[in-house]
């Protein structure tokens, strides 16, 4: 801030001051993103100081330095034991609740030495050595004015609780947003996964408060999606009443929600969550593929994804995993082949290879299949026919893969003309349907909405609190519509015009305009109000 003022950019700040400084934070387990509210009805995902819009949730300590984001992730290769990843899901959990089975190369979760049943991380750091001359209490000046050189920093151990790690990370996100906006952030909305318990939400709220963030609301991921998809900008052509399937493929888990959007109001019809399906699984497939390729090309043995890897193998795998991240992004963005290159992958041998879309899709087909199966299961359990789903919304970097969209549309039994961000062409070039920024943008819009409520609307603000009773509503259970009797000779004896779909939140209002056909002889018309349940035979 101060450096900005010195450089004389006061003008820009004054101009920006009309727009309230509100941010939306998508806080995932592996990646986070920040969006700021720019103009009325528009939110924009911003890049942090490293130029990353997808900020890796990683924290690494090396010597006296602390790295956050992608530089921290790069430390997984050489400094894995001092690198903390995947901490979000541990928020608010007790140490005894955390399964200890999975072996990780990153900093292991340990029992906090002082607090009981508290998960923590232990990292090795270098502490700056204490000042060589202890300050005398009498105020006697030091013997010499020449600075005494400090001694070498002392190696030390630092114990960080999950909550502290989260606070450090959120603080860095806040800092990025404030650097972008050029002023203090007024308030924020943060996403939470639907699987979070109340205790976990409390822990997140506390960590955010410690980081200095004013949290307006913790928004569940499907709700953050709905905040984006119910805007005018999202769907100028789509119907206001539609059923929307949200496919959120994270790095380690898949969560699906079926939303009923009724004139801007959204509620969940069904949701499911399955662990183990996601970006990490794709990474494993790719890593194995490239490792085999490497072995074939260079005759250097490399085994990855094994239980007990050698140090050289583990390091090579970490390098390869960082590299395939880039390969995945290239595959998503361009139809051509994507390269994967790692310098000195193992034993000082470089590796370069490429993979095309077809090969890639074949490789990760099992993961596509399991996603499609989960979708089918969800629709089954909700008793919703795939044909009644009007729109699919994708969330998460993995869903940028066009192959996944194709596979899902073909195999899950949806209508051919189902709307997806790909069919609407809003994925490319950071469009409005960009799966990586949807959540953060929804949060920023929501923050703007809450900030716009005045003091008079105190009772409305209560509805945004967790588990507010005001969110409980009555909905219609069947479709209401009109029958205009005519000689078409079908079952109902007329033309059926559905007006109010099932699951519409009450009170509801729908408007329809009719051109009434009148015969010359009898100038009369009639219609009947019907309630029907629709199904496909």
Partner 1 sequence: MASIQTNILPKSYTLPGPSKASISGPSTRRLLPVGPAFVSHLRLTLQHGHSFDVHDAHAEKERQKLEEQQNSAANGDDDLGVGDEPESAELLALDPKEWKKHDYYAVLGLSHLRYKATPEQIKIAHRKKVLKHHPDKKVTSAEPQSTSSLLTGINLNTNDDAFFKCIAKAHEVLTHPEKRRQYDSVDHELMEHQEDDPSPTDFAKSKKTLSDKEFFSTFTPIFEREARFSKKQVMPMLGDIDASKEHVEGFYDSWYNFESWRSFEWLDKEVNEGSDNRDDKRYTEKKNKSERARRKKEDIARVRQFVDLTLSLDPRIKRIKQQEKEAREAKKAAKSAPASGAATPQMTKAQEEEEKRKKEEAEKAAKADAKKAKAAAANAAKKARRAARAEEAPAA
**Under the rule (CB under 8 A), what is the footprint of partner 1?**
217, 219-220, 222-224, 226-227, 230-231, 259-260, 263-268, 442, 445-446, 449, 453, 459-460, 463-464, 468, 470-478, 484-488, 495, 497, 503, 505-507, 509, 511-519, 521-522, 524-528, 531
Residue 238, exposed/middle/buried by CB under 10 A (0-12, 13-18, 19+)?
A: middle
Residue 518, exposed/middle/buried by CB under 10 A (0-12, 13-18, 19+)?
A: exposed
Nearer to partner 1, 224 or 404 (CB): 224
Nearer to partner 1, 138 or 522 (CB): 522
CB of 243 to partner 1, least distance (A): 13
Q: Rounded to whole angstroms, how far apart are CA atoms 445 and 461?
A: 15
Q: Maximum CA pair distance of the chain?
A: 118
Give one DSSP letter per residue of 65-83, joined into a string.
EEEESHHHHHTTTT-GGGE
Q: Rounded to whole angstroms, how far apart are CA atoms 481 and 492?
A: 12
Tokens (6 digits) for 330: 């290239």
Among residues 245, 268, 234, which one has the least CA distance to residue 437?
234
Locus of tokens 């004389």 = 8
Would you say 186 and 22 are in contact if contact means Cβ atoms under 8 Å apart?
yes
CB of 36 to partner 1, least distance (A): 18
Nearer to partner 1, 61 or 484 (CB): 484
Nearer to partner 1, 82 or 191 (CB): 191
Q: Rounded to whole angstroms, how far apart are CA atoms 110 and 127?
A: 22
Residues 6+ away with beta carbon under 8 Å from 284: 304, 305
Nearer to partner 1, 299 or 474 (CB): 474
CB of 212 to partner 1, least distance (A): 24
CB count within 10 Å of CB 467 equals 8
Nearer to partner 1, 17 or 477 (CB): 477
CB of 259 to partner 1, least distance (A): 8
Q: Rounded to whole angstroms, how far apart are CA atoms 120 and 108?
A: 9
Locus of tokens 């906090």 = 112
CB of 88 to partner 1, least distance (A): 21
Separation in Å, CA 187 to CA 169, 192, 193, 444, 496: 17, 16, 20, 9, 48
Q: Rounded to whole angstroms, how far apart are CA atoms 338 and 258?
A: 33
Q: Rounded to whole angstroms, how far apart are CA atoms 20 and 35?
A: 13
Nearer to partner 1, 130 or 264 (CB): 264
Nearer to partner 1, 314 or 530 (CB): 530
Nearer to partner 1, 190 or 259 (CB): 259
CB of 434 to partner 1, least distance (A): 19
User: By three-state DSSP, how is residue 387 classified?
Assistant: helix
Would you say 316 and 105 are in contact if contact means Cβ atoms under 8 Å apart?
no
Would you say 24 and 189 are in contact if contact means Cβ atoms under 8 Å apart?
yes
Nearer to partner 1, 148 or 488 (CB): 488
DSSP secondary structure letter of residue 505: B
CB of 519 to partner 1, least distance (A): 5
* Ramachandran angles phi, psi of 86, nearest 5°: 60, 40
Q: Do you find a cis peptide bond into 507, omega within 30 degrees of 0?
A: yes
Nearer to partner 1, 357 or 478 (CB): 478
Nearer to partner 1, 174 or 259 (CB): 259
CB of 296 to partner 1, least distance (A): 50
CB of 64 to partner 1, least distance (A): 43
CB of 489 to partner 1, least distance (A): 10
Nearer to partner 1, 337 or 449 (CB): 449
Q: How far from each other are the two terminal CA atoms of the chain, in whole angstroms? A: 65
Residues 6+ away with beta carbon under 8 Å from 521: none
CB of 223 to partner 1, least distance (A): 4
Among residues 334, 338, 378, which one has the least CA distance to residue 354?
338
CB count within 10 Å of CB 237 equals 6
CB of 522 to partner 1, least distance (A): 7
CB of 39 to partner 1, least distance (A): 12
Q: Rounded to whole angstroms, how far apart are CA atoms 289 and 361?
A: 13
């Amino acid at each position: 801030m101060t450096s900005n003022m010195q450089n004389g950019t006061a003008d820009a700040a004054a101009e920006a001051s009309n727009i309230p400084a509100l941010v939306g934070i998508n806080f995932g387990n592996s990646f986070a993103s920040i969006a700021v509210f720019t103009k009325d009805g528009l939110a924009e995902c911003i890049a942090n100081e490293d130029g990353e819009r997808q900020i890796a949730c990683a924290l690494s300590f090396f010597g006296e330095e602390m790295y956050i984001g992608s530089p921290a992730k790069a430390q997984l290769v050489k400094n894995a034991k001092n690198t903390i990843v995947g901490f979000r899901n541990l928020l608010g959990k007790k140490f005894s609740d955390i399964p200890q089975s999975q072996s990780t190369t990153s900093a292991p979760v340990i029992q906090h030495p002082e607090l009981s049943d508290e998960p923590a991380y232990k990292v090795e750091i270098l502490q700056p050595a204490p000042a060589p001359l202890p300050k005398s209490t009498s105020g006697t000046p030091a013997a010499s004015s020449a600075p005494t050189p400090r001694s070498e920093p002392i190696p030390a151990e630092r114990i960080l609780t999950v909550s502290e790690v989260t606070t450090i990370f959120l603080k860095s996100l806040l800092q990025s947003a404030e650097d972008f906006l050029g002023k203090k952030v007024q308030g924020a909305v943060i996403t939470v996964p639907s699987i979070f318990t109340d205790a976990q939400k409390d822990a997140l709220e506390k960590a955010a408060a410690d980081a200095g963030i004013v949290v307006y609301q913790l928004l569940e991921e499907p709700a953050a999606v709905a905040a984006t998809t119910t805007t005018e900008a999202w769907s100028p052509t789509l119907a206001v009443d539609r059923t929307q399937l949200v496919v959120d493929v994270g790095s380690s888990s898949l969560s699906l929600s079926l939303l009923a959007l009724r004139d801007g109001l959204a509620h969940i019809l069904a949701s499911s969550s399955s662990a183990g399906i996601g970006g990490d699984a794709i990474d494993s497939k790719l890593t194995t593929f490239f490792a085999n390729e490497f072995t074939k090309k260079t005759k250097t043995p490399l085994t990855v994804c094994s239980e007990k890897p050698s140090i050289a193998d583990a390091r090579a795998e970490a390098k390869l995993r960082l590299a395939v991240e880039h390969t995945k992004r290239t595959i998503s963005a361009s139809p051509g082949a994507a390269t994967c290159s790692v310098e000195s992958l193992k034993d000082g041998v470089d590796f370069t290879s490429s993979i095309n879309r077809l090969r890639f899709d074949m490789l990760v087909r099992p993961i596509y299949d399991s996603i499609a199966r989960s979708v089918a299961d969800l629709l089954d359990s909700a008793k919703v026919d795939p044909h009644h789903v009007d729109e699919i919304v994708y969330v998460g970097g993995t869903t940028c893969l066009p192959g996944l969209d194709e596979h899902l549309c073909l195999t899950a039994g949806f209508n051919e003309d189902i709307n997806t961000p790909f069919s609407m062409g809003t994925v490319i070039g950071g469009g409005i349907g960009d799966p990586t920024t949807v959540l953060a943008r929804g949060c920023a819009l929501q923050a703007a909405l809450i900030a716009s409520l005045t003091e008079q609307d105190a009772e409305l603000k209560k509805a945004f609190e967790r588990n507010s009773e005001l969110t409980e509503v009555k909905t219609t259970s069947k479709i209401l519509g009109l029958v205009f009797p005519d000689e078409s000779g079908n079952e109902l004896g007329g033309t059926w015009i559905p007006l109010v779909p099932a699951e519409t939140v009450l009170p509801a209002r729908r408007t329809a305009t009719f051109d009434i056909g009148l015969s010359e002889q009898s100038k009369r018309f009639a219609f009947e109000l019907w309630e029907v349940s629709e199904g496909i035979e």
